[in-house]
Structure 1
Amino acid sequence: MNHSTQNDLISITDVAAKLPKFISKVPHLLSGLKQAYLRTPNTPAGLGIAFEKAVKRNPQGNALLFEEQKFTYQALNEWANQIGHFYLSIGARKGDVIAVMVENRPELVATVIALAKIGVTAALVNTSQNSKALTHSINLVKPIAIIIGEECRVAVDEVRQDLLLKEDRFHWFADQETLVDAGKSPKGWTNLAEKIIHFPKFNTPTTQSIQGKDGLFYIYTSGTTGLPKAVIFTHSRWTLAYGTYGHILALNSDDVMYCTLPLYHATGIVVCWCGVIAGSATLALRRKYSTSAFWKDVKKFDASAIGYVGELCRYLMDAPSSELEHGHRVKKMIGNGMRPNIWDKFKQRFGVEEILELYASSEGNVGFSNIFNFDNTVGFSPTPYAIIEFDKESNSPVKDAQGWCKKVKKGEVGLLVGKITRRSPFDGYTDPEKNKSVIMKDVFTQGDSFFNTGDLVRDIGFRHAQFVDRLGDTYRWKGENVSTTEVENVVSEYEKIAEAVVYGVEIPNTNGRAGMAAITLADHAEFTEHDLQQMTTEFKKCLPAYAVPVFLRIQVHVETTGTFKYQKNTLKEQAFDPNKTDERLLVLLPNATGYCDLTAEIFNNIQAYQYRF
């Protein structure tokens, strides 16, 4: 992100200064790396084995907190075993898939552990999905059963006739504490809490037979066609995350990780939870993120660590100060997407000492983590990778005279690619065509292959990188590439603006796309005439002329997905047409010194090419 300067480059002196604190983590880290890197596709590995080890280390310690419920490691393990034994009894076998659609609550956690132990892949369906996308997500992975929480039943019932499942394989959990009261299942649904009561609580016999290459989860990522893609997450990959991120976090049995991120995505279910399991610590769950409840929950659960994505940090920064945000135990955070323009402010305001920012993708084979606790970096990578020169105009890597790709110099930005090897395989998507499009061959030598992450990063030295942009998050205007991230950072710095989402929109008779920002205002703020001038001055001061947004759209709140990713497609489609939205639209007309309201008349004049942008 272009807030960075040469100050962010890392020298040997910087690394040396971080060593004393880092050394205290080394024994724990080495134990993790041993597990992460001694694995092969055929090694017994994964979530089930790691969880059973945590149970042995801390049987009576709390494994899970939710609302007023508490589960020790032993109790959670016994519950998962009952679910596992039930599925073995109906013929579920290693390699089968079961779709799971339950919101963040104990039933989801117990189910995921159960399926991991018996080698069944859990397809973690986004709990806000419905209709066509939901049918597609479930049928895509050919499940033998579906497990849902009552909170998701209406959506599933609506598409039930389109699901390729046997009638007796629709399994249900009541939306309550089902171990205390199983509830009464609706017609056509099997009550899972009732079914498992008489099954044994001892460990399922299958756990040690699960190998690295076996599927643990399907995680869905947003597809370019609008329909989700399912990415396989193997036990081997989980073990790599557990051995690295999990041990770097260095939690112990006194620690409590507060997670409000949805567990159908990897940041929640892999990154946050594997740190908990590695330290036999406690996972405190909230069903859905809430700014107003955040610090109350931190106090209630006595959390010492939190899981985050960038937008969650932005929401907390934008909230008014409260007594609750001080005097807590939170010193560590793990997640991704912390913006450089709030990194320092966040640490100071909330008393956080360590931000374990990391970089990984559900489908990729390259990962970084901030093990030395530098600011403004996704951290260090032990996996084989390269940052190569990339030409945005031709949308392709720059080649040398021999036809090989070229690595960037320290301080420069390039395309991140991960080398595909036996120890860092590319597990890929369910769709083989999609796999072909992201694998690059003969990059530096004949026969090598790399995974194209689609991300631009800056090489800041000592195998550290800084995230700059998604290739898909740039647009061209006035012959220049504009980084949406950079513009979002500048726009959201304006004091009355809480949040900004930037994208390119087409203006008739112009080349490329003009910048447009959908913004939400800070609490009770309103734009005055002075703001419309002042904002323009500030944007022009901090951004190149071609990157200053031409259009602004003032929203009550920004539409996001479950992981707080912005819903840009709808915004792009509606663009700056006042007939498609009743929200206030502003435009910076050519040669104007400030924004003005975009009226129907101005819109028609733009369409008729009356202005030369």
Structure 2
Amino acid sequence: MSQDNVSALDIARSLPGVIRRLPAITRGLYYYSLKDQNRELTLGTLIESNAGSVGNRPAILFEDRSITWSELNGWANRIARYLQDRGLAKGDAIALFLENRPELLAVVAGAAKLGVACAMLNTSQKGKVLEHSINLIEPKMVVVGEELTEAFDGIKTGIKTDHPQPFQFLADTNTLNAFGDSPAGYANMASEVSTFNSDEPVLSDPPTMGDTAIYLFTSGTTGLPKAAPGSHRKFIKAYGGFGLMSLAMKPEDVLYCTLPLYHGTALLVCWGSVLAGGSAIALRRKFSASAFWDDVRRYHATTFGYVGELCRYLLNQPPSEQDRNHSLTKMIGNGLRPSIWKEFKERFGIETVAELYASSEGNIGFSNFFNMDNTVGFSTAPYKLVKFHDGTRDPIRDDKGFMKEVAKGQPGLLIGEITEKWSFEGYTQQDATEKSILRNAFKKGDAWFNTGDVLKEIGCGHLQFVDRMGDTFRWKGENVSTTEVENIIDGSGLVEEAIVYGVEIPGTNGKAGMVTLVPQSNGRAFDANKLFKYLRDNLPAYAVPVFVRVTQAIEKTGTFKYRKVDIQKAGYSLGDSSDNIYAWLPRTDGYTLLTPELVSEIDGGNVSF
């Protein structure tokens, strides 16, 4: 199959593999297609079911710990009873600020048993951004891991809550049998939970499939993060669509997950797939390219969750005779570039790439069901690829106000039709939800979700990802909101105006952040590293601009809009400009002034960002 084409013959060649998965596909289709929002089928009932059918098999592997499905279910029940005793009930929310470890999944599971939703806080957030994210939800409690108490203590006084014990502490240890000492102002959650029994909680109003299970935070186009509610149905769809239909997971499977569990790919896709097979999820706090294959062998992993950047990091490791000395045959995730797809499969002996396309808040997803190369697969949801204005998320409308589809094979803005079956759960902020809806797109009264992403069709209904448009770009596996970064820079007191965008660097995935700014005209020389320190204190590392262009003026249009496309095209090139351009180079703690020689090194792919 060519890189940019899927043919009927390719589909036919994949059919033997599809036929082998037919029993799992049939089951998966059933769960994926469920529509009854009032059905008592939830994340909690899935865990209870696995405890009954494969109770003695491992559910979570972490460092030297192995937790069975029965143990996880009992742990979740104790957490549910604790939350219930503290006055929480269906419809309430708590926020989780924990790194990848078993406690995080146990709390999500326990809360799910009650119908209490968990807001999955980004562990890289700090300062104003973290405070904003928590207050969007106004949770009854915030569960904070010992590993993150310092970051949380910095914003603790600004959190809105009306609960008498709002701050819950979990020591950075095996809290099933060691509780640690909680700091002042925190309840020792593990110690308190241990006093409750492990029977299923008694509920007068149990949660249903349509109730909110989680909140995931997304960097949209309006500045600070937005909170997207995810119903239990999203877990059920991942359970059926990914765990059964795409991967055919079984109890003996182990999925190795280094992706952060505050991401939908890790929590919904990876854990949802594990739930479907009664399999085990092996967790690592943070991805390490050098430790990856040792972990895979240690846990006897058969599957792993990925984003494209992770795969590139693994390929960049020196080839070894151990490259195929492992049990991995499957992978699931998104962002694997066509340029490394075949090389990755062949070097590491991967048979199944379950590439997918989805978003935390969106109503549309694609899955590489037929295991084709270089595609996000196909979707059964109604969608269109439409013409759009360059550099924006805005579709082009004709004289009658309607949108136009692109020609087959041409890049287009992906939009998903909003229907009763393909509902758009949106955000906690109604204005943010409305901004993502395109109305009267092809006829009066219709409504479509604007993904903000550009894809193209490559045959037989299969799409290939092209780019992320508008005011959001992707770097280090994270979505970065340009407006959010601009707002933080504006608060530094060091600049008069600033515009943030993404630029491509050879040999990397996604786009690196860059800011073009005009410094404060106070007669002092601009201090790039003073700005760097401020940004590191107020932004996650992945959102700190890699490049800074310092200029005397930023060109605008006649209507005072920035010429963002032109600025973006210039990137970090020095050209004939008198601008100073700085770069945050790998393994440095500040900005370095670019020289022609250094730019050549970067352009040659010799600087490993």
TM-score category of the 2 structures, normalised to the smaller one: 0.7 to 0.9
Find the counterpart in structure 2 of residue 21 from structure 1.
17
Q: How many residues align?
A: 524
Q: 2: CA distance between counterparts of 1:6 and 1:344?
A: 11
Check whether the contact 2:228–2:361 (CA below 8 A) recurs between aligned residues.
yes
What secondary structure does 1:109 align onto? Answer: helix
Residues 286-305 of structure 1 aligned to structure 2 (within 5 Å): 286-305=284-303
Contact 2:308 2:509 in 1 (8 A): no
Cα distance change, pair 162–30 in 1 and its aligned pair in 2 (3 A) = same
Tell me: CA distance 1:393–1:585, structure 2 relative to 1, closer, same or farther (3 Å): closer
Contact 2:331 2:353 in 1 (8 A): yes
2:543 aligned residue (567, 578, 587): 567
Distance (Å, rounded) in 2 between the aligned partners of 1:79 and 1:505: 47
Question: Secondary structure of 1:200's match?
Answer: coil
1:190 aligns with 2:167: no
2:35 to 39, 50, 56: 39
The structural deviation recorded for 1:420 is: 0.5
The C-alpha deviation readout for 1:559-599, integer Å capped at 9, x for no partner, is: 9x99x99536463566662578642524499xxxx95999x
- State whether residues 119 and 206 of structure 1, in contact with CA within 8 Å, keep that contact through their aligned partners in structure 2: no
1:415 to 389, 413, 417: 413
Aligned to 2:378: 380
User: Match of 1:108?
Assistant: 104
Q: Deviations over 1:397-445 (max 9, x none)?
A: 3445654323233312111100101111100011111111110112222
Contact 1:456-1:467 within 8 A present in 2 as well: yes
Q: Partner letter of residue 172 of structure 1?
A: F
Tell me which amino acid in the other structure corresponds to 1:567. A
Q: Residue 177 in 1 paired to residue 177 in 2?
A: no
Output aligned runs, 1:530-545, within 5 Å: none
Gaps of 5+ in 2: 474-500, 519-535, 551-571, 573-578, 584-589, 604-609
Match for residue 128 of structure 1?
124
Closer, same or farther: CA 502–186 of 1 in aligned 2, 3 Å = closer
Is 1:328 the counterpart of 2:331? The answer is no
Q: Is the 8 A contact 1:587 1:597 kept in 2?
A: no
TM-score, normalization: structure 2? 0.80
1:275 to 273, 276, 283: 273
1:73 aligns with 2:69: yes
Q: 1:459 aligns with which of 457, 460, 471?
A: 457
Q: Deviations over 1:135-189 (max 9, x none)?
A: 1111210111111111111122222222123452211111101112112222221
- 1:164-563 counterparts in 2 under 5 A? 164-165=160-161, 166-206=163-203, 209-224=206-221, 226-247=223-244, 248-392=246-390, 396-399=394-397, 403-472=401-470, 488=505, 491-492=506-507, 501=511
Decide which moves more: 379-388 or 277-286. 379-388
Inter-partner Cα distance in structure 2 for 1:207 and 1:367: 35
Distance, in Å, in 2 between the alignment partners of 1:305 and 1:394 is 37
Comparing 204-213 with 116-125, which one deviates more in the overlay? 204-213
Aligned residue number for residue 513 of structure 1: none
Q: Deviations over 1:330-373 (max 9, x none)?
A: 00000001111111111111111111110000111110010101
**2:577 is the alignment partner of 1:577:** no
Alpha carbon RMSD of aligned pairs, Å? 3.1
**Segment drifting more, 243-252 vs 305-314:** 243-252
**Are 2:393 and 2:413, in contact at CA under 8 Å, matched by a contact in 1?**
no
Secondary structure of the 2:214 match is strand
Q: How far apart are the structure 1 equivalents of 2:259 and 2:153? A: 26
Secondary structure in structure 1 of the residue aligned to 2:78: helix
Moved more, 377-386 or 567-576: 567-576
User: Which residue pairs with 2:606 in the alignment?
Assistant: none
**1:374-408: CA deviations, max 9, x gaps?**
11101111111111233428864344565432323
In 1, the alpha carbon distance for the partners of 2:284 and 2:3 equals 38
- Do residues 54 (structure 1) and 50 (structure 2) align? yes
CA contact (8 A) 1:257 1:306 kept: yes
Rounded to whole Å, the distance in 1 between the matches of 2:419 and 2:591 is 52
Alignment deviations for residues 530-579 of structure 1 (CA, whole Å, 9 cap, x no partner) = xxxxxxxxxxxxxxxxxxxxxxxxxxxxx9x99x9953646356666257
CA contact (8 A) 2:81 2:196 kept: yes
Distance 1:207 1:347, change over 3 A: farther
Residues of 2 paired with 1:222 and 1:153: CA distance? Answer: 24
Alpha-carbon shift at residue 311 of structure 1 (Å) = 0.7
Contact kept in structure 2, 1:40 and 1:423, CA below 8 Å: no
Q: State the secondary structure of the residue aligned to 2:428.
A: coil
1:227 and 1:393 map into 2 onto residues whose CA distance is 20
Aligned amino acid, residue 219 of structure 1: L
C-alpha contact 1:585 1:597 (8 A) present in aligned 2: no
Distance in 2 between the 1:235 and 1:289 partners?
Answer: 28
Moved more, 283-292 or 153-162: 153-162
User: Take 1:396 and 1:222, find their aligned partners in 2: how far apart are those partners?
Assistant: 17
Q: Are residues 98 and 484 of structure 1, via their aligned partners in 2, closer, same or farther at CA, if it must alter by over 3 Å?
A: closer
Q: CA deviation at 1:73?
A: 0.3
Q: Which amino acid aligns with 2:235?
A: W
Q: Percent identity?
A: 42
Once the two structures are TM-superposed, the CA of residue 291 in structure 1 deviates from its matched residue by 1.2
